[in-house]
Amino acid sequence: MARGSRYQRYEGGDPLAPPVDLAEALDAIGEDVMAGYSPERAMREYLRRGDADRRGLDDLARRIAERRRDLLDRHDLDGTLREVQELLEKAVLAERGQLARDVEMDDGDRALREMQLDNLPPSPAAAVSELSSYEWSSSEARETFEQIKDLLGRELLEQRFAGMKQALEGATEEDRAAIAAMLADLNELLEKHARGEDTPEDFADFMAEHGDFFPEGPRDVDELIDALAQRAAAAQRMMNSMTPEQRAELMELSQQAFGSPALMDQLSRLDGNLQGLRPGEDWAGSEQFGDGEGLGLGDGTGVLQDIAELDALAEQLQQSYNGARLDDVDLDALARQLGDEAAVDARTLAEIERALRSSGYLQRGSDGQLRLSPKAMRQLGRALLRDAAERLSGRQGARELQAGGGSADATGGTREWAFGDAEPWDLPRTVLNAVRREVASGGRAPGARGVRLEIADVEVVESEQRTQAAVALLVDTSFSMAMDGRWVPMKRTALALHQLISTRFRGDRLELIGFGRLAETLAIEELTGLDAIWQKGTNLHHGLLLAQRHFRRHPGMQPVLLVVTDGEPTAHLETSGDVWFEYPPHPVTLARTVSELDGATRMGAQTTFFRLGEDPGLARFLDALAKRAGGRVIAPELDDLGAAVVGSYLGDRASRSPYGGSGSGGAGETFGRWGGGWGRGGWVG
């Protein structure tokens, strides 16, 4: 069968852009989760911030607010009244000039007219009403006054029908009659629809006769009602926004529009029909506008529609309501208000949100709360391990031992056979080497059968000795770690080491142990989501007890002890199970801690302490512990903690022998910030 093609509307953006990459989003979300945010909140925060390639919701919302403020600053809603006032002053000025120039006019008539003009009420509406029966001497004044009525009529219709204001400029009596007929037919159609008596033919007949008044081209009566109701509601909100005096003046002036009270009756009837058919529109709201460029009644309706759309977008971008999703954002409206680029950014964020929810990175637990899934933990671990590897890229020396024997594992590579090698041959490579050699030497002898092997042709399967290790990573979870900004680096370190062991050294066994006032073993998911708790106590004694239990469970493995801490032990576990806490550290606490470290050392544990902070008391204490255990102390910067722990683990795997108490890498040696390679003293591999 021929493969079909599917086409869809182009939605903007770079058509050659790669699919949405969740790696950056997941890294940012994981960072916030490790800082104590829930996954749901962390995802929301990422969507609000955006990333290096796209704007987030906060930036889009800021631009929406700026556009709304710009509209409010540039326009005010008494623009129509101001225009009426200007036309009125122009008409009166022209009339006064004509009265002064007309020498043939009766003086009494002139005085009466001048007195009438002098005593016009200050209200433009009242002045227009009083002058409606005035007999103008000036033709210019009469034409200007007629412009007021024409303006009001066009403004009133512009509220309800887009484009009507310009279309009716200079309208004839026939044009006005056509408008009156359209309004009458429209009201009849809406009233039939409200009763459920209309038919598609009724709508078709109406559009056939009056379709020129609706350039937006509604396809059915519901689309027609939606368009009219939005503009009518916006017009009502505009009226609500005006002062009572402005509103009264405008309503009084409106009565005189086209000089036809029937027009006002039809418009009032239309408003009533629309409110009944679309009660969900905002008919009672209002907007506040500042001083600025005058805005007509009809134009004000259009601006209010913009403001209503901006308000809806602001709520959608805020995502503060229950069940909020970025799919709720009206991308068409966003493109209208901020341009296509903003809509593309919002669409991409929505795709990221959908992908995060559907890709398995987030899953709901039995309590209904979102959590990072094992898949997400692996992705985060890979990213953190890559970061550690980059920092380790300058390290010199062997990473793993190569040795023969049945316990070695294939690396996937091959190498030339050497005397003493016991690895199996790689037969395809060996035969290929023989064929190449024969071809290069001039070909095979006539009649020869098979391939003649020489010892130089032989390649063996490369393998590496992987001594299994029982690794105990003890991380300080006392409150000082969170208070001093070490909480997230500690978690990143644990996650990177967990990823390395679970993917590269699957034969090793890792135990994560957190020690605060008490110590406890933690799954990587528990440690990643662990919140800081205000508890006094650094119970390294209890942590070492749990580490020895882990070593005893794996008696055939090499014990590796890694301790990350920022404070001296201030708590220990009593034989009763109670916790003893005292600060400064009590001699009994120190003695119990040292005793358990001695127990781990007797089990052959390779020990490394990672000292965080500059506490001189902690430095002296850990130096003494490292010297006693034949281990070492590393004092990395926070950014290098993950690389330090991973590098130490790899170094221990390479040597599988305790470190001495002197020389490079011995007890008490500390490392500053490494930069491109290792710091003072080098690195022991």
Q: How confident is the model at residue 301 (pLDDT cuts 50, 70, 90)?
A: low
Q: How far apart are CA 177 and CA 262, in angstroms?
A: 11
pLDDT tens for 638-658 read 888 888 888 888 877 666 533
Show contacts of 333-339: CB within 8 Å, 24+ apart: 333/309, 334/60, 335/12, 336/309, 337/64, 337/67, 337/306, 337/309, 337/310, 337/313, 338/60, 338/63, 338/64, 338/67
List, in sequence order, the alpha helices (H) in 476-586.
479-483, 487-503, 524-528, 540-553
Helix (H, G, I), strand (E, B) or coil at 87: helix
Q: Which helix (H) or strand (E) holds 512?
A: strand 509-515
pLDDT, average across residues 483-498: 87
Q: How far apart are CA 593 and CA 518, in angstroms?
A: 13
Q: How far apart are CA 482 and CA 627, in angstroms?
A: 29
pLDDT tens for 532-557 read 877 789 999 999 999 999 999 999 89
Q: Are 121 and 130 within 8 A, CB to CB?
A: yes
Give me the pLDDT at residue 228, please: 82
Q: Supply the DSSP string of 629-649, one letter for each residue.
A: HT-EEE---GGGHHHHHHHHH
Label residue 409 left, alpha or beta by phi (over 0 means left) and psi (-120 to 50 means alpha). beta
Residue 160 clears pLDDT 70, i.e. is over it: no
Q: How far apart are CA 573 and CA 565, in angstroms?
A: 18
Q: Are 459 and 414 within 8 A, CB to CB?
A: yes
β-bridge pairing 519-522 and 558-565: unpaired
Query: Which amino acid is present at 296?
Result: G
Q: Which helix (H) or strand (E) holds 101?
A: helix 79-101
Q: Are 622 and 611 within 8 A, CB to CB?
A: yes
Q: How confident is the model at residue 514 (pLDDT cuts 50, 70, 90)?
A: very high
β-bridge partners, 415:
460
pLDDT, average across residues 440-451: 71
Q: How confident is the model at residue 598 (pLDDT cuts 50, 70, 90)?
A: very high
Domains within the chain, CATH numbers bracketed = 22-75+309-372 (no CATH), 78-286 (no CATH), 409-464 (no CATH), 469-655 (3.40.50.410)
Query: pLDDT averaged over the chain?
Result: 77
Q: Of the spans 105-109, 286-290, 321-325, 515-519, which averages the highest pLDDT?
A: 515-519
Token couple for 40: 């749901």
Q: Are 579 and 538 within 8 A, CB to CB?
A: no
3-state per-residue secondary structure call for 338-399? HCHHHHHHHHHHHHHHHHHHHCCCEEECCCCCEEECHHHHHHHHHHHHHHHHHHCCCCCCCC
Q: How confident is the model at residue 593 (pLDDT cuts 50, 70, 90)?
A: very high
Residue 157 clears pLDDT 50, i.e. is over it: yes
The percent helix, strand, coil of the chain (3-state, each to 5) is 55, 10, 35
Helix (H, G, I), strand (E, B) or coil at 408: coil
Q: Are 184 and 266 within 8 A, CB to CB?
A: yes
Residue 401 clears pLDDT 60, i.e. is over it: no
Q: How far apart are CA 455 and CA 337, in angstroms?
A: 77
Q: Supply the DSSP string of 231-267, one letter for each residue.
A: HHHHHHHHHHHS-HHHHHHHHHHHTTGGG-HHHHHHH
Q: Are 202 and 192 within 8 A, CB to CB?
A: yes
Helix (H, G, I), strand (E, B) or coil at 480: helix
CA atoms within 13 A on the CB side of 634: 29
Token couple for 108: 């009494």
Dihedral sign computed on CA atoms, order 440, 446, 448, 449: positive
Q: Which helix (H) or strand (E) holds 558?
A: strand 558-565
Q: Which helix (H) or strand (E) holds 572?
A: strand 571-573
Residue 370 clears pLDDT 90, i.e. is over it: no
CA-closest candidate to residue 682, choices 660, 664, 670: 664
Give me the pLDDT at residue 663, please: 32
Token couple for 204: 């078709």
Percent of the chain beyond pLDDT 90? 20
pLDDT tens for 91-145 read 999 999 988 888 888 888 888 888 988 888 776 766 776 787 788 999 999 888 8
Q: How far apart are CA 566 and CA 614, in angstroms?
A: 9
Residue 520 clears pLDDT 50, i.e. is over it: yes
Q: How far apart are CA 407 and CA 531, in angstroms?
A: 42
Q: How far apart are CA 672 and CA 567, in angstroms?
A: 18
Q: How far apart are CA 522 and CA 542, in angstroms?
A: 14
CA-closest candidate to residue 30, choices 381, 367, 359: 381
Output the CA torsion 639→641→646→650 (10° steps). 110
Q: Are 607 and 601 within 8 A, CB to CB?
A: yes
Q: Which helix (H) or strand (E) holds 472?
A: strand 469-476
pLDDT, average across residues 183-193: 90
Token couple for 265: 């009756």
pLDDT tens for 195-244 read 999 999 999 999 999 888 787 788 899 988 888 888 777 777 766 666 66
